[in-house]
Amino acid sequence: MSAAAASPAVSAPAGGAAGCGDLPVLRERGQREVFCGLTGIVWLHRKIQDAFFLVVGSRTCAHLLQSAAGVMIFAEPRFATAIIDERDLAGMADANEELDRVVTRLIERRPDIRMLFLVGSCPSEVIKLDLSRAAQRLSKRFSPSVRVLNYSGSGIETTFTQGEDACLAALVPEMPAEPGRARSLLVVGALAEVVEDQFLRLFAALGVGPVRFLPSRRAAELPPVGEGTRYLLAQPFLGETARLLEGRGATRLAAPFPLGAEGTTAWLRAAADAWGVDAAKFDAVTAPGIARAKAALAPRREALDGRSVFFFPDSQLEVPLARFLSRECGMRLTEVGTPYLHRQHLAEELAMLPAGVTLSEGQHVDRQLDRCRAAKPDVTVCGLGLANPLEAEGMTTKWAIELVFTPIQGYEQAGDLAELFARPLARRARLMV
């Protein structure tokens, strides 16, 4: 299929115009202005403290990582790139030997590492370098001190946050089996530590537990999984991880995502319902958080109410964010773009979107820019490659990557989340030159 053949196709699912969950989706193909999944390393390497991420790729991949890591540069980051050179392309056997040599040098240098991820890239995928075989081979060699796993963060297969999905999916087979059918709650998706702790306190108050997190802070201490595992997705981009968890007997608790007071309450309720928590108790536990979130939201709502917002695709967080902005902040949705729409995981979210919103999946960036300029939104949510050029055209933008790097989930962060969108507007109003 060619890019030119990508005349905007509006597809309505069979069954027609039922609820909002059946919103038509504009599917486009063309240039996609998005990150590849390698970018996930930038936050995952901080989250999983005993893991190291070794990208097997080209100089481009190394350059991407350091550009995306930006000022988040640490004297000793836990990621690096094994840069493929011509000699590796000439002979595949040598490439494997070379990889073993690089990994050995790395592990000698970082004896504190317990888990090593070999991360596939476009070049390694295209030359079909078998990283899963390499991971097995190296795991054997460095066992038991280092476990070696692999996943792909290549741009041809993954978009931005899908890198986290691929990484977590690689961890699922490593999770120990939970013996018996003991019930436990697994929260899936990397969260800021402060947010994890808030959720832990809420679940404890509700009597829901034991609660575990994937990823865990240490790769060597993965949570167990089994028939009794109920899992809640904390992030909307975890399709493959969810599939593998179900393969190990876990059951998903369907819920919207914990953004804003409403999202957080519904998310907690899904777990509370599974644990049979009675309504009075649920209300008592959640009421203070809801009240605080509403109080924090009020001033921001004033700034955002009635303003319009346009989302370029980036992280798959766009749909839950749009739901939050429209329902809790009173914003008007123009277009909500997402790189990929997981209808099942987003069912609850889609049902809450207002009628008339344009959902788009995939991208033809120039056409989308045309639509954005025509829509003249008050706030445009987009990547760093578009933000300054749009600002220079007089538009107000919120760069989207920050939404992945900032704690935004849960009651205590609801105000901060709204603030991220209100601030660019406030700034524009302030500046007199």
Partner 1 sequence: MELAVWTYEGPPHVGAMRIATAMKGVHYVLHAPQGDTYADLLFTMIERRAARPPVTYTTFQARDLGGDTAELFMEAARDAYARFAPQAMLVGASCTAELIQDDPGGLARTLGLPVPVVPLELPSYQKKENWGAAETFYRLVRAFAQPRAARAEGTAPRANILGPTALGFRHRDDIIEVKRLLALLGVEVNVVAPEGATPADLARLTEADFNVVLYPETAGVAAAFLQRQFGMPMTRIVPIGVGTTRDFLREVATLAGVDAGRVEEACRLPWYSRSVDSTYLTGKRVFIFGDATHAIAAARVAAEELGFAVVGLGTYSREFAREVREAAKAHGIEALITDDYLKVEEAIATLRPELVLGTQMERHIAKRLGIPCAVISAPVHVQDFPARHSPQMGFEGANVLFDTWVHPLMMGLEEHLLGMFREDFEFSDGAAPSHLGHGPKAEAPPEPVASGPATWAAEAESELKKIPFFVRGKARRNTEKFAAERGLATITLETLYDAKAHFSR
Q: Which residues of this chain interact with ligand SF4, rule CB under 6 A? A: 36, 38, 57-58, 60-61, 64, 70-71, 121-123, 154-155, 384
Which letter does DSSP use for residue 36 in this model? Answer: B
Which of ligand SF4, partner 1, none binds 73 (CB below 5-8 Å, type-dependent)? partner 1
CA distance 238 to 164: 8
Compute how many other C-beta atoms are within 10 angstroms of the C-beta atom of residue 48.
24
The structure tokens listed for 199 are: 């959720």
Considering only residues 347-386, where is the footprint of partner 1 by CB under 8 A? 366, 383-386
The structure tokens listed for 222 are: 């993965």
Sign of CA dihedral 330, 334, 340, 346: positive
| Nearest partner of 286 among 257, 258, 256, 261, judged by Cα | 261
Q: Beta strand 379-382 with 51-57: parallel, antiparallel or unpaired?
A: unpaired
329 marked among binding-site residues: no
122 marked among binding-site residues: yes
CA distance 148 to 63: 24
Of residues 123 and 339, the one with the C-beta less far from ligand SF4? 123
**What are 384's strand-pairing partners?**
none
Which of partner 1, ligand SF4, none binds 84 (CB below 5-8 Å, type-dependent)? partner 1
Of residues 123 and 223, the one with the C-beta less far from ligand SF4? 123
Of 20-28, 73-81, 211-219, 300-308, the window that binds partner 1 (rule: CB under 8 A) is 73-81
What is the length of the chain? 433
3-state secondary structure of 275: coil
Residue 378's contacts (CB-CB under 8 Å, 6 or more residues apart) are: 307, 308, 309, 396, 425
Of 155-163, 218-226, 277-285, 307-315, the window that binds partner 1 (rule: CB under 8 A) is 155-163
Of residues 69 and 351, the one with the C-beta less far from ligand SF4? 69
Of 18-26, 121-129, 231-239, 285-293, the window that binds partner 1 (rule: CB under 8 A) is 121-129
Which of partner 1, ligand SF4, none binds 366 (CB below 5-8 Å, type-dependent)? partner 1
Q: Distance of alpha carbon 47 from its chain centroid, rounded?
A: 13
Question: Residues within the annotated binding site?
Answer: 36, 61, 122
Q: Which residues bind partner 1 (CB under 8 A)?
A: 1-4, 30-39, 56, 58-60, 62-64, 66-68, 70-71, 73, 75-77, 80-86, 88-89, 95, 98-99, 101-102, 105-106, 122-123, 125-127, 154-157, 159, 366, 383-389, 391-392
